[in-house]
Amino acid sequence: MFAGCDEKECAVILTQAEGFVLVAFMVVVLLLLGVLGGRLNALQRNLGPLSRVKAKIDLLLKQAGIKFDPYASVSFDMSAVSARETEWVD
């Protein structure tokens, strides 16, 4: 491994302070992952009903024979950019 020592002599040994820092870092990472997971779950809960409402509105408009175009009064360039940026939402 290293010059002048064998495997047992060159083993990595953490001091008490290094071990504490490692454990504290792992706890912080787990807390951040928990907070992020909670926020994503809340977002998913809020988006579910919204997508159902959007589907119902689309169905009602289709049944009434109404053509809804949110980009009717917007120039082609702006509507293309907006459609491209919001494509993942639909």
Domain boundaries, the chain: 16-85
d(CA 71, CA 90): 15
d(CA 57, CA 18): 58
The predicted-structure confidence for 7-37, as pLDDT tens digits, reads as follows: 665 556 778 888 899 999 999 999 999 999 9
The predicted-structure confidence for 37-74, as pLDDT tens digits, reads as follows: 999 999 888 888 888 898 899 899 999 998 887 767 77
Burial 14-27 (b: 16+ CB within 10 A, else e): eeeeeeeeeeeeee
Against a cut of 0.75, is the pTM above it? no
